[in-house]
Amino acid sequence: MFNSIVVAAALFSKGATSRGLIDKARKMLSPGGTITLVHVLDEIPPYMVAAMTKEQLMNHRKAVREQLESLAAAARGVQVDVDLRAGKPSTQILQCAKECNADLIMIASHKPGFSDYFIGSTAARVVRHSPISVLVSRRFS
């Protein structure tokens, strides 16, 4: 049983993968424990940022936060906090786990490609650099 679990949320496939991870986390959580749902916004290249309005960027961030809060609300019976970050995904996931004093990180991995054959590159970096246990869940879509 774990007291604090960080779930790296991916919002592809309408959040189905993240819902599955949250469900697994609920079963592994100690009574009174917390789940932190973290999502790292993709870095937008500077040339694209220059072409976007501040309102567009804010609306995107707001839409992502609403998706995360919807996922968190669906996890009845446990406390699920939402943490929306920007930057390099592996670095931000590890930083979130450190700040939450987490004892487990849960992350999904996609079907491997040539460059990241065994697990996804973000998942691989998290596993490689994490001082705590990491559960990697396979996703093949």
Q: What is the pLDDT of residues 91-107, one digit of tens each?
A: 999 999 999 999 999 99
Q: Domains along the chain?
A: 6-107 (3.40.50.620)
Cβ neighbors of 52 (< 8 A, separation 6 or more) are 44
Strand partners, 108: 137
pLDDT higher than threshold 70 for residue 22:
yes
The percent of residues above 90 in pLDDT, for the chain, comes to: 62
Q: Which residue matches tokens 């789940």?
A: 35
Amino acid 106 reads M
Average pLDDT on 44-64 reads: 87
Reported pTM? 0.87
